[in-house]
Amino acid sequence: MRIAIGSDHRGHQIKAKLKTLLTADGHEVIDFGTDNDAPVDYPDYAVSVAKQVADGAAERGILICGTGFGMAIAANKFKGVRAAACADEVMAEMCRRHNDVNVLCLPGDLIGDRPVGDLVRVWLATEFEGGRHSRRLEKISHIELENAR
């Protein structure tokens, strides 16, 4: 799978670990930075990753900031992107199962020493259930189209 990944300064260490893990698992990883502790603005990285997913250049995206919330808000501005902040495996599984989330936003400050790779692997392996959830996603797509500027 082709995965776009990006982080701000608060998530770069987790991003580096995930890059290694994802590559070892056979995924192609497109890294949009950042790679150090120098303060940067998370929307810049959210835009880079969300564009890749929206345009179909990447099948999925992963973003990491302090809480995951800012990245999710910014990424969700792109048509076809469904981004969610997740802090554990249950959230990661359910966002895929019910919402077909294609951009995972992680809270770099809240993950701590927990094995974030397990969370990401669950998210990547979980399929969208479809059914009643498809109807709901169609409604969301309609809202997106009606409110596009």
**Does residue 98 have an active-site annotation?**
yes
Q: Could you give the C-alpha distances from 138 to 39, 95, 99, 107, 132, in angstroms and in order?
A: 38, 16, 11, 28, 10
Question: Rounded to whole angstroms, how far apart are CA atoms 51 and 79?
Answer: 9
Token pair recorded at residue 89 = 């495996």
Question: How many angstroms separate the CA atoms of 103 and 92, rounded?
Answer: 11
Annotated catalytic residue: which of 65, 86, 95, 105? 65
83 vs 75: CA distance, rounded Å: 6
**133 is annotated as an active-site residue:** no
Task: Determine whether 132 is exposed, middle or buried from the number of CB atoms within 10 Å of its CB (0-12, 13-18, 19+).
Answer: exposed
Catalogue the active-site residues: 65, 98
